[in-house]
Amino acid sequence: MAKQWMKQWINTTAVLSLLGAVSLCISTAAWSQTAVQPDRVVVAGWSKPITEITNLLVDEEKGFFKAQHIEMAYLPGAGGGDALRNLLSGQADVAFTDPGSFFTALDKGEKLRAVYDIYPQNVFNVVSLKSQNILKPADLKGKRIGVYSLSSGTRQNLQVLLNQAGLSEPDVTIVVTGLLNFTPLMQGQVDATAATDTGLLVGRQRGLVDFNVMEVKDHLNISSDFFVVSEDTFQNKKDVIRRFLLAYKNSAQWMMQSPQEAAQLAVKHAIDGKSASLNIEIIRLRNASSVSPTTAKNGLGAFDMHSLQQGVAAYKALGLMTKDVVLQDVISQDLLPKHMTNAK
């Protein structure tokens, strides 16, 4: 009787031990699966997936964001204002937007933080056919001028040029042309078009000849684009944003060091990337706009606060801003990747 009881006890103990081990394995596996889930970050862009942002489009091959435990998704837009609307509506975590849209949103009371200066050089311009004889900002008076969208940096930088001549938007006719805004110019639907350096390059490839260019940077060399987050995200998801910015910096450095590889990958990922030879020219232009004396000293993504203060003054003069802003309250550099120097 005792032997039978002992045998039953041993069998029961063995079963319970086995069940416990199985339960532990399942629990451990479930915990491990949960523990390794990446943080999803949606980037609201100012454009569709185009060649100049190839470094944001190639994580499948290069894994810059995966390496930082981030699942990055790109949400297309039509201008920096559109990117901010997608951020503020909760559809995105980070906005890829221009300073004008950023400062305008702040002026309306939105709680935002700029956390990375993507392109510290002003890449905007106004292009016209030589037959129009538009040589200086004052010559734009009474003209039809194309812009990418009403919420884009092309429009705001056009306003900067107009202001240089004491003009404003009522002195011209604004025409929304979309991203490929050189076709309306070549067809005579507008007298000039507000564009970017890469846009002009594409226009030339498509037959634009005999043209004049006014560079906005000759009047105001403010940054072209920032990464912006909501104040709530800034305060509560600093680790995620810090890892996102490191991943982006690594991707930007890769595109600078390997423009030919980036150009080939753009053929697959960019909607305008069919020509690898054109892609590499676009990529080299965008690489050049990603660096400045400030980034040489402080690393990619660093803000030039003096330049931005000049930008605030310009936007206030344009009427895009009515309130004072303390830049240190809305621009944060403490989440930027650490800059390594050769100093000993």
Identical fold for domains 39-121+222-322 and 124-218, yes or no, is yes
Query: What is the rounded distance in angstroms from the CA atom of residue 192 to the CA atom of residue 200?
Result: 12
Give whole-number Cα distances, 202 to 50, 122, 124, 199, in Å: 12, 18, 14, 5
pLDDT of residue 28: 40
pLDDT of residue 177: 92
Tell me the pTM.
Answer: 0.86
Q: Domain map of the chain by residue range?
A: 39-121+222-322, 124-218
pLDDT of residue 4: 52
CATH of 124-218, one of 3.40.190.10, 3.30.70.20, 3.30.429.10, 3.30.230.70: 3.40.190.10
Which CATH superfamily, name and number, covers 39-121+222-322?
Answer: Periplasmic binding protein-like II (3.40.190.10)
pLDDT of residue 340: 53
The amino acid present at 65, given as its one-letter code, is: F
Low-confidence ranges of the chain (pLDDT < 50): 1-3, 5-7, 9-10, 12-34, 341-344
The maximal CA–CA distance of the chain, rounded, in angstroms, is: 113
Q: Which residues contact 235 (CB under 8 A, 6 or more apart)?
A: none
Q: Which of 55, 148, 113 is nearest to 332 (CA)?
A: 113
Q: Which residues are bridge partners to 173 per DSSP?
A: 144
The burial class, CB within 10 Å (0-12 / 13-18 / 19+), for 299 is middle
Q: Could you give the angle at the alpha carbon of 269 between the alpha carbons of 263 and 273, nearest 5°? A: 50
pLDDT of residue 19: 41
Query: What is the rounded distance in angstroms from the CA atom of residue 161 to the CA atom of residue 165?
Result: 7
Give whole-number Cα distances, 317 to 115, 168, 254, in Å: 25, 11, 39
193 contacts 281 by C-beta, under 8 angstroms = no
Q: What are residue 42's phi and psi, to 5 degrees?
A: -100, 125
pLDDT of residue 35: 56
Q: Which of 184, 196, 161 is nearest to 80 (CA)?
A: 196
Query: What is the rounded distance in angstroms from the CA atom of residue 190 to the CA atom of residue 171?
Result: 15
The burial class, CB within 10 Å (0-12 / 13-18 / 19+), for 31 is exposed
